[in-house]
């Protein structure tokens, strides 16, 4: 029996008027959102149930051409604040989505995220976890897929292994999401790639943090320290599954992010905006 109770094809447009075809679905509660890692029907944004309201139906799931699924509202918020690319594999359009694509009935959910009132914000009063929320681990596999000629790559957010005291801890231990580990290991077992490269990215940090190329056969026990010692990456085989842990230097992460933010504030102040 299909997990999709009703479906509809739509075309989203970027601010540059590039189109991105997607599928909207009403699910039976068994389809996972790969942003929140819970059922699409259970995702809430700012206390509002994440459904894409249309005159015909209320859709809880959005499926991209790469077949990755997400809560419809969570993915559209990602598209409004980042690029219209898949959070997992980055397939899509490298431009932000036009707010006109969002149904009028749910636009108010996004107001605080896409149109912040900077005049009332204390820019120095940041919650440290908001910086960590945008930290991503990216992996490129080499060579590319022989069947499609496309690059093989994966991206995942970081998840705390245990409660992290963001205010006082110097380091935090993080793991990759289950779906990332599943895809990572499926690529390793396929034998399509002989080596890979890890990269740590953050929208507020312009510096590139990348490892060298590492043989897929030598991943078990592999360790890498990224530039500025922002993080140490460790790979190990556990129960026939390759796991990847990150020891993030929170102080370095916050310092680099705040430096970018303060530079932005100085620019805005000097321009009189």
Cα dihedral value 50, 52, 56, 61, nearest 10: -80
pLDDT tens-digit map of 90-127: 788 888 888 888 887 777 767 666 654 444 344 444 55
pTM above 0.95, yes or no: no
**Rounded Cα gap, residues 162 and 164, in angstroms:** 6
What pLDDT is stored for residue 220 in this prediction? 94
Least Cα distance to 240 among 174, 175, 186 occurs for: 186
45 has a pLDDT exceeding 50: yes
Q: At residue 160, does pLDDT exceed 60? A: no
Nearest 5°: the CA angle 18, 33, 204 is 60
- Residue 40 zone, left/alpha/beta (φ > 0; ψ -120 to 50; rest): alpha
Residue 42, Cβ neighbours under 10 Å: how many? 14
Q: Are 213 and 142 in contact, with CB atoms under 8 Å apart? A: yes
Mean pLDDT over 149-168 rounds to: 55
């Amino acid at each position: 029996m299909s997990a999709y109770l009703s479906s509809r094809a739509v075309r989203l447009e970027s601010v540059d008027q590039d189109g991105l075809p997607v599928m909207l679905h009403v699910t039976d509660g068994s389809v996972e959102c790969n942003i929140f890692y819970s059922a699409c029907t259970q995702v809430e944004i700012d206390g509002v149930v994440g459904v894409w309201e249309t005159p015909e139906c209320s859709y809880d799931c959005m499926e991209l051409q790469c077949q990755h699924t997400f809560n419809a509202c969570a993915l559209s918020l990602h598209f409004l604040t980042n690029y219209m690319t898949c959070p997992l594999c980055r397939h899509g359009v490298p431009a932000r989505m036009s707010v006109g694509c969002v149904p009028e009935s749910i636009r108010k959910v996004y107001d605080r995220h896409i149109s912040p009132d900077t005049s009332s914000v204390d820019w120095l009063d940041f919650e440290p976890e908001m910086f960590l929320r945008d930290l991503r681990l990216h992996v490129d596999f080499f060579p590319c897929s022989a069947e499609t000629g496309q690059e093989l790559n994966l991206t995942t957010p970081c998840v705390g292994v245990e409660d992290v005291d963001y205010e006082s801890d110097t380091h935090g231990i993080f793991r990759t999401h289950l779906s990332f580990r599943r895809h990572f290991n499926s690529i390793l077992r396929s034998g399509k790639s002989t080596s890979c490269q890890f990269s740590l990215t953050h929208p507020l940090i312009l510096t590139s943090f990348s490892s060298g190329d590492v043989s897929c056969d030598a991943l078990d026990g592999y360790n890498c320290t990224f530039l500025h010692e922002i993080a140490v990456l460790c790979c190990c085989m556990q129960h026939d599954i390759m796991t990847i842990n990150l020891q993030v230097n929170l102080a370095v992460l916050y310092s680099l992010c705040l430096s970018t933010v303060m530079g932005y504030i100085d620019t805005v102040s000097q321009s009189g905006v």
